[in-house]
Structure 1
Amino acid sequence: MYMTQCLQRTLQQTPDHLATIFGSRRQTYRQFGERVARLAAALQALGMAPGDRVSMFALNSDRYLEYIMGVWWGGGVLNPVNSRWSVPEIVYSLDDCSTGILLVDEHFAALAVGIRNSARQAPLLIYAGEGEVPTGMLGFEQLIAEAAPVEDAGRGGDDLACIMYTGGTTGFPKGVMQSHLNLWSACMPRMVDMPPVRGGRLLHVAPLFHVAGMARALIQFLAGETHVLVPSFDAEGLLHIIERERITETLLVPTMILALLAHPDFDRYDLGSLVRLTYGASPSAGEMVEQLLARLPHLELSHSYGLTEACPVVSSNLPWNHTPEARQSGLSRSVGRGGLGVNVKIVDPHGREVPRGTVGEIIVRGPNIMLGYWNKPEETARALRDGWLYTGDGAYMDEQGYLFIVDRLKDMIVSGGENVYSAEVENVLAGHPAVAMAAVIGIPHEQWGEAVHAVVVRQPGAEVDEAELRQYCREFIAGYKCPKSIEFRDTLPLSAAGKILKRELRKSL
């Protein structure tokens, strides 16, 4: 169970199959494998020993996939850099796990010198972008051209594969340690539930530095199929590449899907090749699903719930739960059931399992669960208890084992002594045809302690006011759960993974 085995298998069986498409560059698995083996040799020559960390600060590209496989082929450990972080956050992540080599592309080369000068251990810089290599950096292409390929180091099992730093919503970011076995155990059950499309082309839009993007790339490697990459999300560019490259699958967050649906040329593009779309990062996507399937009724939709510590998938709501009947019953609002090999329970504050339909904390156990947090034994002990990962996510489970997320436990609103789960209110708001996105938070209130406050983004061209939305909510949920105040904005602050940053909303109030 080592993550480069899938590349070895494809090189043996289908070496001339198309591996990557990035802009005008196309390469077969034979070409890709040769570059990976040469990159591994170059990194070893630069001092990468088994278990050493190597980072990449870049947008999606074919070179990013070469970095992932090249580091593992050479025996190293990935430490992908969140491209939306500030320089101090990046420096912290590099210093925390003693990263000695940093690859950068043209989008972030200007920041690399400041990072190197600020880091406790100045990393060696490799330029993996387009155009001329900046002064003081080594060239990615030259390193590959001058290196002789090496054999796969074959690190696997419980060997550390990746350190992914979480967003640092409180205090400093935490480095989630993922082993080869963790990643393997996360990908294989997903392939059982949703086998990749045979001969398919997967479009990478989600950033590869994020666990969801990387895990989906690993599944495509396991299948030996084709990766198509774009640097970042652009609605028109995405529609164009789906048509041009006959894309079969992709992973998007709801904000991206809504932007596609709102594009005036959406219906002019031939999107018939797209047979499957996975969405995540938002449980309140009911109206979006209706709009999407009205425009592309042939599409297979699936929704996943997970977290970095689970590498990442805990549960999936599969295409058959997006049928008209399932959507009408409310089952499509679930995040699905636990995957193969993943045990899921809902527990009270004492760790005792609660009855079905009762809200509690999701805890998870399985071979996909992280090794722990790098250099943080106390935080590891709080998160991993008796073999279970305590997620901090509030949910309930129905009689069939389907999970329904209600909130991050720390985000629960207590209004007049009643518990209000923001996801429940957001789900209702998202069902209004004029609402594109909604976020619900608690704000201080003299009488109730906290009041339910909603921040709403309207659908393009739609008109709806506060009174109409409040009345709409009263049709579906109790009065104390309905927003006491609603504000309208053009956009909501989002993380790199497309999740709404509620801490930023609170700061702005």
Structure 2
Amino acid sequence: MNFIDYLFEHSKYSDNFLLLSRNVSLTYRDIYGDILRISSWIQNSIGTNSRIGILADNSPFFVQVYGGIIHSGNTAVIIDTKSSSKEIKNIISRCSIPIVFADQKYESLAAGVRVISCIPGDTSQSNLCLPSQIPKDTCAVIIFTSGSTGVKKGVMLTHNNLIANTNSILQYLNLSSDDRMMVVLPFFYCYGASLLHTHIRAGGSLVLDQSPFLGGALKGINEFQCTGFAGVPSTFLILVQKTPFLNLKFPSLRYFTQAGGHLSSSVIQKIGRTFPDKKFYVMYGATEATARLSYLPPDLLFDKPDSIGKGIPGVTLEVRNEEGNVVRPGEVGEIVAAGDNIMIGYLDEPDETARVIRDGWYYTGDLATVDDEGFIYIIGRKGTFIKSAGFRVSPQEIEDVIMQVDTVDACVVFGIPHPILGEAIIACIQSESDGEGLISSVKKHCSSLLPSHKQPADIFILQYLPLNSSGKPDRDAIKRLYKLHDNQSE
């Protein structure tokens, strides 16, 4: 089934609201009609089996164009709006994109190809029903990874990948047409796209937050009576530390979801204690897995701190050692996954695809252990472990300890070359506090909880940690800032 036909299967002519904001409200019938018009225009203009770019913020325009491209039998190439003009030019070239649908403010970034900034098609054709029989293994979407581990890769996702992962997420979140999501995550990010997919399939609605600050989204939760709120670690850290979030009431809210990286269990449990009537889903995933791989049931939030849970419905998740055997409790191995949600590969990178997909299993690059009940705990990522004084040290373990200090808002730990230790452990802290007092407190706290070989050799403070477009700490940028800081202090 065409993924768009699947999403709108039960709601294409519904007069219930699909998209809401303070500026516009559009029904399923409105959106689906525009999707069909765009689909028809694309088929008549360039045919099928092409790659078509989208360079747009969260908006009805994004949803209409995204749906129209996929419905037409073409591949939607979702471009991060925070990309540089050089990166965008590279993506357009790599994907041989003939047309980019773009917000007007981004038109100049897509130079060299045809750019369309409004909905094309005959507005009288509101009941088009185009043939849409497309093989399920046809690539529907290409999403470029955030680049946190190197050069951005184009993840190719099929209609079947998208359908499978959407079905799985709907099962464990128990979404229905009564659900309404406050959206602060961009749709060009797989986590944000999954919110769009699941709520359309369920017949629910999405509130598009237009505010540049999260405080506006908090107001919108109550204003629009939202039932769900989703965020990455930085989202929840900002809410807890910079807004009145923990002192507010959200009577309509049913649940929170968190993915996109590790959020300290102390922060998660603070939210859980503050809102005992709201479910908090800790989740884990990857763009290569469409979006989601695991979740921790909310009723285990306090019993299994720091666990990412187990595989979601339809996904087999294992932790394997270097010999390929499933680890025993307490042992460390790599998380591997199998399921219909796993990508068909990276765009034009067969060697890299073969490296991460072997015998039908996706090798995530995340190292983890398991407990006696099979719940998974990530301890770090391959390549990020610090080799100091002969020990392999997990940055995440040190970050969790430092985050327990009240005046620390966020923390990133990494290693730098050292002539004696091999690598020295460096902690970058985000805090409004400055000076030796905070550094002394952090060092004292670390010395009380960590052995000497895991204690930071140096600590430096930033008012704000640089983030990438997915809202995750940009480790490369942080390392550059530290190097500049270190050079200046010499």
Separation in 2, partners of 1:338, 1:267: 30
Matched, 1:394 2:405: no
Matched, 1:472 2:445: yes
When the two structures are superposed, what TM-score results if normalisation uses the length of structure 1?
A: 0.88
Match of 1:30 in 2: 29
Amino acid at match of 2:4: T
Equivalent residue of 1:358, what SS? coil
Change (3 A) 1:171 1:421: closer
Matched, 1:411 2:406: no
Deviation at 1:232, TM superposition (A): 6.3
Separation in 2, partners of 1:313, 1:183: 11
Separation in 2, partners of 1:232, 1:197: 27
Q: Which consecutive residues of structure 1, in runs of 5 or more, have no partner in the other structure?
A: 128-138
Of all paired residues, the percent bearing the same amino acid is 27
Amino acid at match of 1:3: F
Amino acid at match of 1:57: L
Match of 2:41 in 1: 42
Change (3 A) 1:91 1:407: same
Change (3 A) 1:163 1:68: same
Change (3 A) 1:438 1:459: same
Equivalent residue of 2:186, what SS? coil
Separation in 1, partners of 2:432, 2:275: 19
CA contact (8 A) 1:287 1:433 kept: no
Equivalent residue of 2:429, what SS? strand
Match of 2:488 in 1: none
Matched, 1:125 2:112: no
Amino acid at match of 1:89: E
Separation in 2, partners of 1:264, 1:367: 40
CA contact (8 A) 1:205 1:232 kept: no
Separation in 1, partners of 2:152, 2:73: 25
Change (3 A) 1:427 1:381: same
CA contact (8 A) 1:166 1:173 kept: yes
CA contact (8 A) 2:357 2:363 kept: yes
Match of 2:15 in 1: 16
Two-structure CA RMSD over aligned residues (Å):
2.3
When the two structures are superposed, what TM-score results if normalisation uses the length of structure 2?
A: 0.92
Q: Which consecutive residues of structure 2, in runs of 5 or more, have no partner in the other structure?
A: 484-490
Separation in 1, partners of 2:263, 2:442: 16
Separation in 2, partners of 1:400, 1:95: 48
Deviation at 1:266, TM superposition (A): 4.1
Matched, 1:80 2:53: no
What are the within-5 Å matches in structure 2 for residues 211-250 of structure 1?
211-231=190-210, 233-250=212-229
Match of 1:259 in 2: 238
Match of 2:4 in 1: 4
Q: Which moved more, 1:462-471 or 1:396-405?
A: 462-471
CA contact (8 A) 2:232 2:471 kept: yes
Change (3 A) 1:474 1:28: same
Aligned length: 481
Q: Deviations over 1:200-226 (max 9, x none)?
A: 211221110011110121111110111
Deviation at 1:257, TM superposition (A): 2.0
Change (3 A) 1:499 1:171: closer
What are the within-5 Å matches in structure 2 for residues 356-375 of structure 1?
356-375=329-348
Change (3 A) 1:152 1:265: farther
Separation in 2, partners of 1:46, 1:464: 65
CA contact (8 A) 1:20 1:226 kept: yes
Separation in 2, partners of 1:293, 1:460: 26
Matched, 1:333 2:322: no
Amino acid at match of 1:336: G
Match of 2:174 in 1: 195
Change (3 A) 1:474 1:6: same
Change (3 A) 1:5 1:264: closer
Matched, 1:380 2:353: yes
Deviation at 1:492, TM superposition (A): 0.9
Q: Which moved more, 1:366-375 or 1:261-270?
A: 261-270
Q: Deviations over 1:93-143 (max 9, x none)?
A: 12112112111113323x33xx323xxxx2x2111xxxxxxxxxxx32x54
CA contact (8 A) 1:40 1:150 kept: no
Q: Deviations over 1:389-409 (max 9, x none)?
A: 111111112221211111111
Match of 1:488 in 2: 461
Change (3 A) 1:170 1:262: closer
Q: Pick one of 90, 114, 138 that aligns with 2:88.
A: 90
Equivalent residue of 1:261, what SS? helix
Matched, 1:186 2:165: yes
Amino acid at match of 2:183: H
Q: Which moved more, 1:401-410 or 1:476-485?
A: 476-485
Deviation at 1:294, TM superposition (A): 4.3
Matched, 1:145 2:123: yes
CA contact (8 A) 2:431 2:464 kept: no
Separation in 1, partners of 2:149, 2:247: 45
Deviation at 1:152, TM superposition (A): 4.8
CA contact (8 A) 1:176 1:372 kept: yes
